[in-house]
Structure 1
Amino acid sequence: MNSKKIENFVTIYQKLNKDNLALLEDIYHQDVVFIDPLHTVEGLKELEQYFSHLYSNLQSITFNIDESVEIADRGFLYWTMTYCHPSLNRGKPINVSGHSRIKFHNERVIFHQDYVDTNTMIFEHIPLVGKVIKYLKKRASK
């Protein structure tokens, strides 16, 4: 069973959008380190700026938390992200599975690392690059 802190994290994360990024203060520690496959961000203000830039480029984004596990001060979230970006996949929804490893300090997340396949998330949806990646994946699976 998950504690209140992981439930609170999930609830707020699923509400996030470009207009309510101040909610990040409710779940992240001021000294948070946030890592995804493309960026490393240190500090709450920098994280707010990163999310602001990220959300401003998207038409929509949602996270469905498929499973969560909590062990002591650590949490593990398995999720499906659905997003629309005007320059990718002709603006149609893209679904990507991933997971996050988080560490709490005083009820707030001080460390958050996302694991996601960037090819599936971005590169396969760029017209020419996507065709090359799909070709290479097909060749590698033979």
Structure 2
Amino acid sequence: MPNEQAVARFCAFFNKLDKTCTEKLYEVYTEEVVFNDPLHHIQGREALSRYFATMYENVERCQFTYHTQQQQGKQAFVTWTMEFVHPRLARGKPVRVAGCSALTFADDGRVTQHRDYFDAGAMLYEHLPLMGQVIRWLKHRLN
């Protein structure tokens, strides 16, 4: 059964993750891990490694600030704020996105299921040149 150390290891891993260290995924994830976020559904550690390598290819910086952690049995929930810099988003300025990770751990303390919840518009769409203007306008109109 996982413990606080498994959750801490997961959080620390994400603050070290970049395009050069995806080969260390085996320390945190099981071979058959299932990963979901608002934009992707990925099965297997090998596919997850390719996804992270591609995602981090142009990211200049990515840092997580962790807030609340809840754990019960093999389940854990971690709230976070991610700040990243990508040269093609927000004119290269930092983008901040709040989110939550729902994790299921295997008996050995590695993650077997990982689901991220966040606003995909706040992360990506709002920072694209044309689409961003439309989304910001719509949000303004709805408020």
Q: TM-score, normalised by structure 1?
A: 0.94
Q: Give the AA of the match of 1:128.
A: L
- Give the structure 2 partner of residue 76 of structure 1: 77
Q: Give the AA of the match of 1:4.
A: Q
- Give the structure 2 partner of residue 110 of structure 1: 112
Measured after TM superposition, the shift of residue 129 of structure 1 is 1.2
Measured after TM superposition, the shift of residue 87 of structure 1 is 1.0
Give the alignment's Cα RMSD to 1 decimal.
1.1
- Give the structure 1 partner of residue 86 of structure 2: 85
Q: Give the AA of the match of 1:119.
A: G
- Give the structure 2 partner of residue 119 of structure 1: 121
- Give the structure 2 partner of residue 25 of structure 1: 26
SS, match of residue 56 in structure 2: helix
Q: Which has the higher contact order (CA 8 A, sep 6+)?
A: 2
Measured after TM superposition, the shift of residue 57 of structure 1 is 2.4
Any gaps of 5 or more consecutive residues in structure 2?
Answer: none
Between the aligned residues of both structures, percent identity stands at: 38
2:15–2:62: 8 Å Cα contact kept in structure 1? no
Provide the C-alpha distance between the structure 2 equivalents of 1:67 and 1:78, rounded to a whole number of angstroms. 5
SS, match of residue 15 in structure 1: coil
Aligned residues: 140
Provide the C-alpha distance between the structure 2 equivalents of 1:125 and 1:11, rounded to a whole number of angstroms. 27
- The 4+ residue runs of structure 1 with deviation greater than 2 A are none
Provide the C-alpha distance between the structure 2 equivalents of 1:23 and 1:67, rounded to a whole number of angstroms. 25
